[in-house]
Amino acid sequence: MTEQIQNEMNNLNLNQNQSQSQQNDQRRSYIPPHLRNRQGSYQGSDSDSSGSNRYNSNFNNYDNNSNSNSFFRGRGAGRSSFNRSPRTGYRGGRNVNYGPRPDHYHTGRFIDGKQVPGPRNDKIELELFGAVEDPTYQSSGINFDNYDEIPVEATGSNVPDPITSFTSPPLDDLLLENVKLARFTKPTPVQKYSVPIIAAGRDLMACAQTGSGKTGGFLFPTLSESFKNGPRPVETPQDNQMNSFVSQFTSSKVYPSILILAPTRELVSQIFDEAKKFCYRSWMRPCVVYGGSDISSQIKNIQRGCDILAATPGRLNDLLERGRVSLKAIKYLVLDEADRMLDMGFEPQIRSIVEQNDMPGVNDRTTLMFSATFPKDIQVLARDFLKDYIFLSVGRVGSTSENITQRIIYVDDNDKNSVLLDILSASENGLTLIFVETKKMADTLSNFLILQQFPATSIHGDRSQSERERALEMFRTNKASILVATAVAARGLDIPNVTHVINYDLPTDIDDYVHRIGRTGRAGNTGVATAFFNRNNRNIVRDLIDILSEANQEVPDFLLTVNREGLKPKRGGGRTTGTRDYRRQNNSSNGGNWYSNSSSNGWNSFGSQPSGQSRYQKGGSSQPLSQQGYGNPSSQNSWW
C-alpha cells in the first residue's frame, strides 16, 4: 500500500517524464463543472507539468515527512524525555513522599499528605499549551458562549448545584493554574455540572454534544481531588516483609489511581495529551497504552510511574494478564465514549477489567461515563457498573450541535466521486474529513483523490499504527488537508480547523452519524457537514429527519419523500438513542427517591430506579482476553 502511494506520488512529481504525463493526463480527465470554461483556474486536469498545480508542494511535504511518525507532535505529547531511573516500590498513603517524578512536565511531589507543585518552566508550557496563535491547538470559537443557552437536565437523587466559574474550591489551585494556561476562561455546561457531582463523590452518566468539553468534564474533578488527597493507600508486595520473595518478581507492577478507557488508540492518545496538560507540575504521571504498538516499551514507560492510565481495553487486559498493572488503587473509573465501550464489541473486555481483576467494587470507587449518545439499552446495561448515579444531559441526548450546518445531498452511488470532486474543488480553507464505510473504500477513495491531485491521506483499522499516526499528523498539520476515514475516526477526535465533514457513505446507525459530524463545529467553532444520501440509506431516513429538525437544519424534500415510500413504521418509532435518563421513562416501580435538576425549566420529578437485565450475556469466551483481539477495532469490526 505504502509503495503504491509512493508510486502515485512519484507520478505527481514535478519532473515527471512524458509518458507519465500522458498517462496522468488521461487519468486526470475530470474538471469540476463550476470550474469548466475557466482558463487557468484549475490545474488538476490537463495541467502542464510545470508544477503550477496547487497541491504538488503538499505532496512533496507528505513524501518528505514519511519518517516523521509522531502522532503526538504539536499537541505537547511525544516530546517527553523519560531519562531518569524508573520508580519502583510504589506505596499508597498520605505520608509518603512521591517524587521526584521522571518526566520534565510533572515535577511535583506528594509529601506528608500534601501536594508540593514543581516549578514553572516557560519551555514546557509552550510545549504543552502552545502559543496563542498556533493553529494546531484548538481555541474556542465565536459560538462558545451559546453553550450557556443549551438546556441541561440532571436527574437522580440529591443533585449538587452546578458551578458557574472555575474556582477553588471545588477545584484545586494547581489545576486552576493549568486551566488558565490552557486558556479556558469558563466551564462548558457539562463541566459546570460534572465538577460538583464528581467532587461530591457521585457516580455519573453524562451525555453532552460532541466537542463540548467532556474530557475536561472528567479530568478536572478527578485530578483536583487526587492532587489534594494523593493516591489511595494500598498494600503492595513491597510493603509485606513476609512476601519479599514475591516482591522480586512483582515490583514492576503499577497502581494507577485513575483509569480511563476509550475505544481507539487515537482517542486514548488524545486523552493522554489532555491529562499531561492538566497534570503539569503535579505529583501525577499520566500514561497511555494501546494495541498495535510495542508492548515492552509501554511496560517500560508505565514502570516509570503511572498514576493516570488511558487505555484501550484489549491492551489493558494484556497488561493485567501479564501482572504489570494492578487496579486495586483505582479511585476513578472513566468510560469515555461509554455507549461504544459497552456495546457488544467491548462489553466482555470491560467486564473482565472491572469485575475479574482487583479493582475496588462499585461502592468503593467512583464510576463515570461520558458520551454524546446513550441508547436506552446501553443505559440499562451501564447500571451494572454504577451506583446511585446522576444522569446528566446537555441538550437532548444524542442531539447535534447547532454550530454544525448540516447539508444532505441526493447522490446516486455512481455519481459520488464526481460530486465529491466538485465539493472539494470549491472548498478553500480548512481540513476536510471524509467518512466511508469500508477500509478498502478508504484506500480506494484516497488514492483516487491523490490521482486527482488533492492532498489526501487515509486512516482505518488495517493501516499500521505508525501509518495511522502519520496520517493524522499530516492531517492535523494541514500537510494533507483531506483525510478519508472509516468509523475508527468517528469518535472523540479533536482536531482543530476541521471545517468540513463529508459522509460519502452514510452510516447505518444515526448515533454514528452524530459522532462523525461532531469532528467539526467544536468548542464553539462553526463547521459544515455534508452527507451523500440515496435510497440505499433509507434505513436511516427517519432518524436523519429527526436529527435535522432538532438542530433547526433544513430538511430536504427528498428525505420526506423517501421516508414516505413504503417504509414500515418502526416499532416504538424513532431513534434507539434514549431522549433522556431512561429511569424517568421507567419510574413506576419504587426503590429510592430521585429527582431532577434542570437549568432550563426548573423541572422536578420523583421516581425510582428500576431494576433490569442486561441484554448482553455476562462473561465471554474462555480464550484469554488479550488473544481475542479486544481493543483493536479492526478485529472487532472488519469494516473499520
Ligand X SMILES: Nc1ncnc2c1ncn2[C@@H]1O[C@H](COP(=O)(O)OP(=O)(O)OP(=O)(O)O)[C@@H](O)[C@H]1O
Residues that bind ligand X (CB under 6 A): 138, 140, 184, 187-188, 191, 208, 210-216, 372, 492, 494, 518, 522-523
Residue 183 Cβ vs ligand X, minimum distance, rounded to whole Å: 7
Is the CB of 191 or the CB of 452 nearer to ligand X? 191
Nearest to 30 by CA among 448, 379, 339, 435: 448
Return the ∠ at Cα 198 (arms to 162 and 385), rounded to 5°.
130
Residue 479 Cβ vs ligand X, minimum distance, rounded to whole Å: 20
Is the CB of 213 or the CB of 578 nearer to ligand X? 213
Residue 165 Cβ vs ligand X, minimum distance, rounded to whole Å: 10
Half-sphere exposure of 265 (CA within 13 A, CB side): 24
Is the CB of 128 or the CB of 420 nearer to ligand X? 128
The answer to whether 91 and 246 are in contact (CB under 8 A) is no
Is the CB of 140 or the CB of 298 nearer to ligand X? 140
Residue 514 Cβ vs ligand X, minimum distance, rounded to whole Å: 9
Is the CB of 333 or the CB of 445 nearer to ligand X? 333
Residue 212 Cβ vs ligand X, minimum distance, rounded to whole Å: 5
Residues 6+ apart with CB under 8 A from 311: 259, 260, 261, 262, 268, 288, 289, 290, 319, 631
* 3-class DSSP state of 186: coil
Return the ∠ at Cα 397 (arms to 396 and 398), rounded to 5°.
110
Is the CB of 153 or the CB of 318 nearer to ligand X? 153
* 3-class DSSP state of 246: helix
Nearest to 563 by CA among 547, 540, 532, 533: 540
Residue 63 Cβ vs ligand X, minimum distance, rounded to whole Å: 30
Joined grid coordinates for residue 204:
455519573
Residue 377 Cβ vs ligand X, minimum distance, rounded to whole Å: 20
Residues 6+ apart with CB under 8 A from 7: none
Distances (CA, A) of 232 to 221, 228, 298, 494, 609: 16, 12, 24, 32, 30
Nearest to 512 by CA among 543, 547, 487: 487
Residues 6+ apart with CB under 8 A from 251: 88, 89, 237, 238
Is the CB of 93 or the CB of 141 nearer to ligand X? 141
Joined grid coordinates for residue 191:
463541566
Is the CB of 62 or the CB of 71 nearer to ligand X? 71
Residue 164 Cβ vs ligand X, minimum distance, rounded to whole Å: 12
Residue 338 Cβ vs ligand X, minimum distance, rounded to whole Å: 11
Cell 447505518 appears where? 508
Supply φ then ψ for residue 601, to 5 degrees: -140, 10
Is the CB of 138 or the CB of 238 nearer to ligand X? 138
Residue 499 Cβ vs ligand X, minimum distance, rounded to whole Å: 15
Alpha carbons 324 and 589: distance in angstroms, whole number: 44
Distances (CA, A) of 45 to 12, 25, 49, 261, 456: 12, 7, 11, 47, 17
What is the distance between the terminal CA atoms of the chain, rounded to a whole angstrom? 17
Residue 128 Cβ vs ligand X, minimum distance, rounded to whole Å: 12
Is the CB of 401 or the CB of 636 nearer to ligand X? 401
Is the CB of 214 or the CB of 468 nearer to ligand X? 214
Is the CB of 218 or the CB of 640 nearer to ligand X? 218
Say how many C-beta atoms besides its own lie within 10 A of residue 528's C-beta: 19
Residue 492 Cβ vs ligand X, minimum distance, rounded to whole Å: 4
* 3-class DSSP state of 59: helix
Pairing of strands 114-116, 109-111: antiparallel
Report the run of H or E that residue 109 belongs to, with start and end.
Answer: strand 109-111
* Residue type at 279 in one-letter notation: C
